[in-house]
Every structure is written in structure tokens, then in C-alpha cells.
């Protein structure tokens, strides 16, 4: 996730911007830049890599001035590179912009601006913003920014400077955070509070579509009609450490709560009821797909669990046979890959050694490879034939949460795209699934509200030595992920079993008091799951069920139930994993474990 900082005051802007950006480094980034305005115009300095690279550039060629904007970029549209780094400017460099978020209609805006004679240098969605502002500029920066944002769809927090009005910094937000720091004879904008805490503790928290103008006279707030508004400043009492976590106790909890937005961002500009699915970097055609006889989906850990859901989705919707495997097993088992195979590798980091090895082997054998990854410019994204980025933003906690749900969304997007190419679903069926997918961010928000029962469950179970997860179909796939979450952060032994497998061995482990977490969200398998639940209850198990709203019958068979909002059977994993993540989180907290950095684990496994 990108970081924004802006400064207006009497001091030199560049060092203050760098200081602010350093405070936002925890958000993750792959390039950085600043733009400073003075009487001579706007000067921009930006480059790929760490902030230290930018600092060295600024030592070599200092930028002087008391007004400026700075940015750390986490690549989404376009590789990490000097040219894709922010700030972005119009070609006259009279307007410079930093931006967080995603402009969903940027392709349309870009084409339109090109038809008006504008030129583009980068692959970013952001570059349309300074050009749009330029198009609307008639001597009043705030008016031009207002007109520009009214044509923008998607999410944004932007900071703008203009050489024709060097005494001004304008900013606005929608669905992306932005705050204003109120100093003495100076003011700041930033995407997060830690960036300004060295200079002020008094801030305005901007709401959607609120504009702010920083000038020598102070800070002016405007609503979307351009009318001046007032706001009570918020006095920050907590320290920078807590602020980085956005008020949450840990990054993992913060990332669990970021899931509705991550789901929305991953669908943004790809899924809409008005158009076919748009896949930026997947160029497979109908003809290519006809030649493919089998899909292999390969990944490790959480990403493997997402691939298991992908298998269900692709087979059900696109009717193509899919084999799914763990990368470390797949690479040594002489899989039957040919030129007719399509290999889909899934990796949050894009750097996992076994997954990368599978990608390389598969390419050698002539297979086409699609990478699903969260990191633009990662090894798998560079080496695969096609790429689908999940737009989860950087995941800092070792335990994967928002990366998993966005990988699920990527699986559905691929399955639907293939179904459309193969015409295995009618356009009405595709429409209905897309409609249900677009509801998922709101349903995920609702699911997150259900915390009390989960906390209570954790209080009662954190001393257990073992827990079992049960499910059938997609519920089994999600159970595997729930079990992994629990064991990796709470160190409680747990296993996930397919309900039908119980009788084939595992039921021997069930005794009085054994804790079982049963997922019962697949309507066509619900009766079968209830029978499995009865089998363990009869042997003394304590059962908590995850079920869909309306399935009140389940209450007769279990000790407690977590209800999820209703959605299509195929989409439930996106919601049912949330209570499982929270169970793992609360149990681990009760045990005073370090949830963000569990023992023996690394975020990215780049060795075999």
C-alpha cells in the first residue's frame, strides 16, 4: 500500500517529506519520489527501490522549496520502475500528483485524454490524474481538482501541487485514507498518522469527498460542492508504533479487517455488471483454451489452500479438469506436463522457491503458465506467461489472511473468464455470479462484526492441546486453511478432515471434550455434515459450527453457531475463512503468542 506525505510551511520541504515517508515504510513499497514547488516551478525526483536511493539522489541534486508532496509506491498498475514511481505530472510539469488507491476507469480516461492530445509515459492509472487536472485547469486549482475527481471512478487519496499556484497544496480522498496534520505555521497531509507525529499531534481525519487546501493562511476544508466546512481536530495520544497498526493491536488483526477492501480492490476494474471480465495481463484466447487438456494448480501453504478452492471453481464453472498440488511435492513427482497443459501457480510473495521451481520446470516442458501473485515485479510475475495480480496490498503479518481471500477472488475471476471463453455458462449465469461477487465486500464487513462469540470460544478453548476442523467440499478446503492458521500462530495441534473421512480413522481421536470446528456452508452437503457432526457429538466432542444465516436447525446439533451472511455456495470460502482466522487470532492472543511473528516461520520461503 502506498504512502503519501505533503508539506506546506516555512521549512525546507524535502527532508520533511523523506522523514514522513520513512514513518510509512512499514506499509511496504518498491519505489519513492518527491515533487517540490518553488518560484521556478516544480521539480520531481523519484526512483525505484528503497528510500535511501531517493535520499542519495536528493543529496546529489537537492530540491529546494517549502511546498511539496512525497510518495512511496507499492506497484499495482505497472512494474516497479523509475517512470512508474510517483509523483506523476502532466507533460509541462505544471501539475504534480501523488495518489493512493486505484482509478478503475483509468483506461477510458487515458484514451479520452490521448484523443485530446495528451501524452502518457508510464503504465500507471495515476498518470491520468495530473492530465485530467490540466485539462480542467482554468486558473483555479481547486476547481480543476474538483472537476477531475468527478470523472474518476475507484478509490483515491491524492495530493496535488501546481506551478501556477505555488502557494497552495490541494488534497482529497475517497475510499483511501488521508489525514491533515496541523502544525504551527505549517501543515501536512499524509495517508497515515505516523508520518506527521514528529511535528504535530493535532490532525483532521478527512472523510470521503472532502477537499483540503493548505496555504500560508492555514488549512481550509471544503465539501464536494466546494462549500467551506469545519471539523474538530483530533488529538493523537498514542505513539507511532500503535499508529502503524492503525489502532489495531497487531498487523494480523489489521489485515483481517482490511479484507473487505482487499476483496473490492482485487475485483476493481475487472468485474462489473456492465462489461465482460477484464484481465489485464492474461491473454489466453478461446483458441488457446481449446488446446488445453488439463490445468495444474500448484502452490504452497495458504496459497495451496486457495488453489484447492480454485480447482472446485474452475471444474464447476469452466468444466476443465484441474489437478491441484503442493509445489514441493509436484516438482519431484514427474507430473505429466505437456504443451497442452496450463499451469497456474499461486504465490502471495511471488518468490517461494518451490513454486518458482514448478513454474520454470513447466515452462521448460512447454506448458503455458499463469501466475497469481500479490507482488508486482516478483519473480513469478516476471517469468510467467500471464499474470493476475491480487491487490491485497502488502501483507506484513506472517500468517496470510487478506492475501488468501484475494487469491480466492482471483480463482473465481479466472474460472469465470474461462467459463465465458468456453461458453460453459450462459451470460445470465455469469451475471448472477458476478453480482454475488460484488456483494462480497459488504458481506465480509458484516462477517467481521461477529466477534463476541469467537472471543468467548477462544477464552474457553485456548488451553486445548488439539482441535479438529471438519468440512465437505469447499468447506473442507477452508477447514484446511483454518487449521493452518490455528497451528501456525497459537501452536495448538490441529487437523482438518473431510467429513466423509472421519469413519476411516480420525474418529478414533474424538473423546469427551475434543474441540471440533465444523463448517457447514454448502447447502447440498449440509445433511451429510450434520450426520458427521452427530458422530462426533455422540463421542463427547464440543462443536462450534460455521453456518449460513437461516440454517437454525444446526443449533440442535452443536454447542454454538457462527452465522455468515448468505451468498452462493461457491463463494462462501471468502466469508467462512474470516471466523476461522479470528478464532486462531483470539486463541493465540489468549496464549500471549506473538501473532505477527510466529516462531520458526518466515514470511517468504525463498529456499527449499
Q: Which residues bind ligand M6R (CB under 6 A)?
A: 300-303, 347-349, 352, 355, 398-400, 488, 604-605
| CB neighbour class for 465 (10 Å; exposed up to 12, middle 13-18, buried from 19) | exposed
Q: Residue 316 class from Cβ within 10 Å (0-12 exposed, 13-18 middle, 19+ buried)? A: middle
Q: Which of 312, 377, 372, 341 is nearest to 79 (CA)?
A: 377
Dihedral through CA 506, CA 509, CA 512, CA 514, nearest 10?
A: -80
Angle formed at CA 179 by CA 204 and CA 87, multiple of 5 degrees? 145
β-pairing, 368-373 vs 341-347, is parallel
Alpha helix segments (H runs only) across 449-525:
451-461, 474-490
Separation between Cα atoms, residue 317 and residue 429, nearest integer Å? 10
Residues in the chain: 608
Distance CA 132, CA 111 (A): 12
* Residue 337 vs residues 356, 368, 464, 533: alpha-carbon distances, Å: 16, 10, 44, 40
Of 172, 187, 161, residue with least CA distance to 37: 161
Residue of 565, 481, 560, 467 whose CA lies nearest to 521:
565
The dihedral over CA atoms of 260, 409, 303, 377, expressed in degrees to the nearest 10, equals: -90
Which residues are marked as active site? 2, 603
C-alpha to C-alpha distance for 445 and 440, rounded to whole angstroms: 9
Q: How far apart are CA 182 and CA 194, in angstroms?
A: 14
Residue of 605, 117, 55, 46 whose CA lies nearest to 348: 605
> Could you tell me the three cell numbers for 211?
477537499
Minimum Å distance from CB 327 to ligand M6R?
A: 8
Grouping H, G, I as helix, E, B as strand and the rest as coil, residue 174 is strand
For ligand M6R, the closer of residues 444 and 486 by Cβ is 486
Q: Which is nearer to ligand M6R, 204 or 585 (CB)?
A: 585
| Beta-bridge mates of residue 174 | 156
Q: How many CB atoms lie within 10 A of CB 116?
A: 9
- The neighbour count for residue 180, using CB atoms within 10 Å, is 24
> What residues contact residue 103 under an 8 Å CB cut-off, 6+ apart?
109, 125, 126, 128, 129, 152, 153, 154, 156
Q: Closer to ligand M6R at the Cβ: 355 or 514? A: 355
Q: How many CB atoms lie within 10 A of CB 25?
A: 15
Amino acid at each position: 500500500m502506498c504512502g503519501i506525505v505533503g508539506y506546506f510551511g516555512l521549512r525546507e520541504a524535502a527532508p520533511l517529506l523523506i522523514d514522513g515517508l520513512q514513518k510509512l515504510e512499514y506499509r511496504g513499497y518498491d519505489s519513492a519520489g518527491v515533487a517540490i514547488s518553488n518560484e521556478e516551478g516544480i521539480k520531481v525526483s523519484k526512483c525505484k527501490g528503497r528510500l535511501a536511493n531517493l535520499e542519495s539522489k536528493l543529496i546529489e541534486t537537492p530540491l529546494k522549496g517549502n511546498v511539496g508532496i512525497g510518495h512511496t509506491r507499492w506497484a499495482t498498475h505497472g512494474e516497479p520502475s523509475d517512470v512508474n514511481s510517483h509523483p506523476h505530472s502532466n507533460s509541462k510539469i505544471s501539475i504534480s500528483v501523488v495518489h493512493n488507491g486505484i482509478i478503475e476507469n483509468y483506461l477510458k480516461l487515458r484514451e479520452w485524454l490521448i484523443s485530446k492530445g495528451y501524452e502518457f509515459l508510464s503504465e500507471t492509472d495515476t498518470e491520468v490524474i495530473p492530465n485530467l487536472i490540466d485539462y480542467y485547469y482554468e486558473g483555479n486549482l481547486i476547481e480543476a481538482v474538483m472537476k477531475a475527481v468527478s470523472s474518476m471512478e475507484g478509490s483515491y487519496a491524492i495530493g496535488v501541487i501546481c506551478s501556477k499556484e505555488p502557494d497552495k497544496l490541494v488534497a482529497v480522498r475517497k475510499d483511501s485514507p488521508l489525514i491533515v496534520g496541523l502544525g504551527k505555521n505549517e501543515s501536512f497531509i499524509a495517508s497515515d498518522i505516523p508520518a506527521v507525529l514528529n511535528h504535530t499531534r493535532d490532525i483532521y481525519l478527512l472523510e470521503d469527498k472532502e477537499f483540503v487546501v493548505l496555504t500560508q493562511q492555514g488549512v481550509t476544508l471544503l465539501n464536494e460542492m466546494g462549500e467551506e466546512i469545519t471539523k474538530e481536530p483530533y488529538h493523537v495520544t498514542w505513539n507511532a508504533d500503535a499508529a502503524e497498526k492503525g489502532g489495531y493491536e497487531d498487523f494480523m488483526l489489521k489485515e483481517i479487517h482490511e479484507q473487505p477492501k482487499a476483496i473490492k480492490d482485487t475485483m476493481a476494474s475487472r468485474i462489473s455488471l456492465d462489461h465482460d471480465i477484464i484481465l489485464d495481463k492474461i491473454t489466453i484466447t478461446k483458441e488457446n483454451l481449446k488446446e488445453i487438456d488439463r490445468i495444474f494448480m500448484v502452490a504452497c501453504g495458504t496459497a495451496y489452500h486457495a488453489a484447492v478452492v480454485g480447482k472446485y471453481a474452475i471444474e464447476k464453472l469452466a468444466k476443465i479438469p484441474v489437478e491441484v498440488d503442493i509445489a514441493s511435492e509436484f516438482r519431484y513427482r514427474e507430473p505429466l506436463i505437456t504443451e497442452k497443459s496450463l499451469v497456474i501457480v499461486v504465490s502471495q510473495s511471488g518468490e517461494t522457491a518451490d513454486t518458482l521451481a514448478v513454474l520454470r520446470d513447466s515452462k521448460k516442458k512447454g506448458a503455458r503458465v499463469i501466475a497469481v501473485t500479490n507482488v508486482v515485479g516478483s519473480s513469478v510475475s516476471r517469468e510467467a506467461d500471464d499474470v493476475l495480480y491480487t491487490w491485497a496490498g502488502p501483507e506484513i503479518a506472517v500468517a496470510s489472511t487478506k492475501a488468501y481471500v484475494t487469491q480466492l477472488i482471483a480463482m473465481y475471476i479466472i474460472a469465470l473468464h474461462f467459463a465465458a471463453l468456453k461458453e460453459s455458462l450462459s451470460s445470465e449465469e455469469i451475471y448472477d455470479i458476478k453480482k454475488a461477487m460484488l456483494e462480497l465486500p459488504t458481506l465480509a464487513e458484516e462477517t467481521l462484526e461477529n466477534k463476541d462469540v469467537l472471543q468467548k470460544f477462544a477464552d474457553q478453548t485456548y488451553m486445548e492441546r488439539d482441535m479438529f476442523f471438519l468440512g465437505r467440499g469447499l468447506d473442507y478446503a477452508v477447514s484446511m486453511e483454518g487449521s493452518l492458521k490455528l497451528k501456525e500462530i497459537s501452536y495448538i495441534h490441529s487437523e482438518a478432515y473431510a467429513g466423509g473421512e472421519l469413519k476411516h480413522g480420525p474418529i478414533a481421536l474424538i473423546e469427551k471434550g475434543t474441540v471440533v470446528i465444523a463448517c457447514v456452508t454448502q447447502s447440498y452437503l449440509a445433511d451429510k455434515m450434520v450426520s458427521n457432526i452427530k458422530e462426533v457429538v455422540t463421542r463427547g466432542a464440543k462443536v462450534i459450527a460455521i453456518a449460513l444465516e437461516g440454517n437454525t436447525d444446526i443449533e440442535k446439533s452443536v454447542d454454538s453457531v457462527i452465522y455468515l451472511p448468505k451468498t452462493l455456495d461457491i463463494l462462501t470460502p471468502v466469508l467462512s475463512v474470516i471466523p476461522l482466522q479470528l478464532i486462531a487470532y483470539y486463541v493465540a492472543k489468549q496464549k500471549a503468542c506473538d501473532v505477527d511473528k510466529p516462531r520458526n516461520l518466515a514470511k517468504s520461503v525463498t529456499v527449499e
